[in-house]
Amino acid sequence: MLSSIASRKCWEEWKARVSGDGKRRDEFELIAELFAPLTKGAPGALNLSDDAAFLNVSSGCELVITTDTLIAGVHFFENDPPDTVARKALRVNLSDLAAKGARPIGFTHALALNPSIDDSYLEHYAAGLTADVNEFKVPLLGGDTTTGPGPLTITITALGEVEIGKRLLRSGAGQGDGLYVTGTIGDAALGLAFQNAALQAEGIDTNALIQRYRLPTPRLREGQALLNIATACLDISDGLVADVSHLCKVSGISAVIERELIPLSLQARAAIKQDPYQWERVLAGGDDYELAFTVPTARVPELMHYAQKLQCQFTRIGVMTESNAGSDVTVLADGAALALSRRGYLHR
């Protein structure tokens, strides 16, 4: 990824606050001093003193497992503050659990370091991870640390549990189901564009958008509330249109999205007002980590009950339709179908 003058300035300011001395703990000191405390006494973690962990799942529940890898220069900027790097790495995995309606019960953590990563960086990295371990009550269960010549690479496997027979899947959406999302869409993609100087705008709080890119919010409460209500669900990581397309393909159905119904933050709305092309980033930019899900009309009152109870935002943005061989997702603007230059992020 490209770095802008603003992001370099951010990095220099961070370095000025942190007087790194270049010291490097060995592997076992790193585990004992920085990461073992993150187990929070989870008995199966064995205080990270062994090569494996042991985990009990609640009676009547099944284990949910998800893994994501983040690479410096691909999934985050090399000069991003290390505490937010750690938190994002954990949160994107928790977002996958949220999309299954699962409750987090722990995670494993593998780091591939390089010689430029010193103890000062790792101390701040561990502090960020600690903050989210405490916030989401999800202990570290184990992992691995290695060093090589490549970019900093983080692989996290998150474990959760959900009652047997109640898990949320991408499949299951039916014709006539409403298509909903949590939160607001497009903030992260716009934040990324501002951070790498691909987008300029006046009078917009770009820091708020950049923070949405750096630090997504896993919708765990919302995901668990959707059990027994939603017919299909996934999190939005590759882009709204691309991810709804994934849901359509697995469910064997199509979707119509009404662009005017997509919930936007004040900052995103301002960016689009200055440059309508930014709708492309909202529709296809990715990194939102909001949930997209389908709900039958009969269950909408129950959905709105949870929205009020949890003080969260569920917004209907479209409807599921019969399978359309021409396009599985159609986006309408003022009643006319849009021709999109791209639909989302492709991993290869």
Whole domain around residue 208: which residue ranges?
178-337
Sign of the C-alpha dihedral computed for residues 76, 78, 82 and 86 taken in this order: positive
Length of the chain: 348
Taking all residues of the chain, what is their mean pLDDT, rounded to a whole number? 88
Answer whether residue 56 shows pLDDT above 60: yes
Which neighbouring-strand residues pair with 156?
68, 109
Answer whether residue 248 shows pLDDT above 80: yes
CB atoms within 10 A of CB 190: 31
Residue with tokens 């561990």: 126
* CA–CA distances in Å: residue 318 to residues 180, 294, 330: 7, 9, 10
Residues 292 and 227 in one domain: yes
**Is residue 281 very low, low, confident or very high in pLDDT (cuts 50, 70, 90)?**
very high
Q: What is the pLDDT of residue 304?
A: 97
163 and 224 in contact (C-beta within 8 Å)? no
Residues 195 and 310 in one domain: yes
Residues 193 and 325 in one domain: yes
The CATH number of the domain holding residue 82 is 3.30.1330.10
Residues 188 and 322 in one domain: yes
The CATH number of the domain holding residue 198 is 3.90.650.10
**Is residue 4 very low, low, confident or very high in pLDDT (cuts 50, 70, 90)?**
very low
Residue with tokens 């849901």: 247
* Secondary element (H or E) of residue 332: strand 329-333
Q: What is the pLDDT of residue 41?
A: 78
Domain boundary, last residue among 131, 163, 195: 163
H helices, E strands: number in the chain: 11, 11
Residues 195 and 135 in one domain: no
Residues 182 and 140 in one domain: no
Domain boundary, last residue among 112, 138, 163: 163
Instruction: Please report whether residue 65 resides in a domain.
Output: yes
**Any idea which of 284-288, 322-326, 332-336 has the lowest mean pLDDT?**
322-326
Answer whether residue 5 shows pLDDT above 50: no
Residues 185 and 159 in one domain: no
pLDDT digits 0-9 by tens, 61-94: 999 999 999 999 989 989 899 999 999 999 999 9
| Angle separating helix axes 266-274 and 206-214, nearest 10 degrees | 120
Instruction: Please report whether residue 70 resides in a domain.
Output: yes
> In angstroms, rounded to a whole number, what is the distance separating the alpha carbons of residues 266 and 85?
26
Residues 204 and 136 in one domain: no
DSSP three-state, residue 327:
coil
Answer whether residue 32 shows pLDDT above 80: no
Report the DSSP pairing between strands 140-147 and 103-113.
Answer: parallel
Answer whether residue 103 shows pLDDT above 60: yes
Helices (H), 290-330: 300-310
**Any idea which of 210-224, 276-290, 312-326 has the lowest mean pLDDT?**
312-326
DSSP three-state, residue 153:
strand
Residues 234 and 322 in one domain: yes
* Secondary element (H or E) of residue 61: strand 61-71
Q: What is the pLDDT of residue 17?
A: 44
User: What percent of the chain clears pLDDT 70, i.e. is strictly above it?
Assistant: 88
Answer whether residue 50 shows pLDDT above 60: no
Domain boundary, last residue among 114, 134, 163: 163
Mean pLDDT of all residues in 198-220: 91
pTM: 0.87
* CA–CA distances in Å: residue 286 to residues 58, 235, 249, 276, 320: 34, 10, 19, 18, 21
Answer whether residue 49 shows pLDDT above 80: no
Which neighbouring-strand residues pair with 106?
159
55 and 44 in contact (C-beta within 8 Å)? yes
Q: What is the pLDDT of residue 162?
A: 95
Answer whether residue 136 shows pLDDT above 90: yes
97, two tokens: 């659990």
Q: What is the pLDDT of residue 45?
A: 66
Instruction: Please report whether residue 325 resides in a domain.
Output: yes
> In angstroms, rounded to a whole number, what is the distance separating the alpha carbons of residues 186 and 207?
14
Instruction: Please report whether residue 345 resides in a domain.
Output: no
Instruction: Please report whether residue 143 resides in a domain.
Output: yes
Residues 236 and 105 in one domain: no
User: What percent of the chain clears pLDDT 90, i.e. is strictly above it?
Assistant: 73
SS (H, E, C) 127-162: HHHHHHHHHHCCCEEEEEEEECCCCCEEEEEEEEEE
- How many domains, the chain? 2
